[in-house]
A and B are shown apart, each in its own frame.
Chain A
Amino acid sequence: GQQVMQIPQYQHVQEGEDFTTYCNSSTTLSNIQWYKQRPGGHPVFLIQLVKSGEVKKQKRLTFQFGEAKKNSSLHITATQTTDVGTYFCAAYKAAGNKLTFGGGTRVLVKP
Chain B
Amino acid sequence: DAGVTQSPTHLIKTRGQQVTLRCSPKSGHDTVSWYQQALGQGPQFIFQYYEEEERQRGNFPDRFSGHQFPNYSSELNVNALLLGDSALYLCASSLRGGNNEKLFFGSGTQLSVL
Flag A86-111 by CB within 8 Å of B: 1 or 0 each.
00100011111111111110100000
Q: Is A98 touching B45 in the complex (CB atoms < 8 A)?
A: yes
Q: Is A48 touching B42 in the complex (CB atoms < 8 A)?
A: no
A44, A88, A97, A103 interface centre (most CB from chain B within 10 Å): A97
B103 contacts which of A2, A45, A95 (Cβ < 8 Å)?
A: A45
19 contacts between A and B (CB under 8 A): A31-B100, A33-B102, A42-B108, A43-B90, A43-B105, A45-B103, A45-B104, A48-B100, A92-B99, A97-B48, A97-B55, A97-B56, A99-B45, A101-B43, A101-B44, A103-B41, A103-B42, A104-B41, A104-B42
Sorted nearest first, the 10 A-B pairs with minimum C-beta distance are: A92-B99, A101-B42, A42-B105, A45-B102, A103-B42, A101-B43, A97-B97, A104-B42, A43-B105, A98-B56
CB neighbours (8 Å) of B43 from chain A are 43, 88, 101
A2, A48, A98, A101 interface centre (most CB from chain B within 10 Å): A98
* New contact pairs (5) apart from A98-B48, A101-B44, A103-B41, CB-CB < 8 Å: A31-B99, A41-B107, A42-B106, A97-B98, A100-B45
At the interface, yes or no: B33 with Cβ under 8 Å from chain A? yes
Provide the bound-state CA to CA distance between A88 and B42, in Å.
7
At the interface, yes or no: B28 with Cβ under 8 Å from chain A? no
Q: Is A98 touching B58 in the complex (CB atoms < 8 A)?
A: yes
At the interface, yes or no: A68 with Cβ under 8 Å from chain B? no
Flag B79-102 by CB within 8 Å of A: 1 or 0 each.
000000000001010000111101
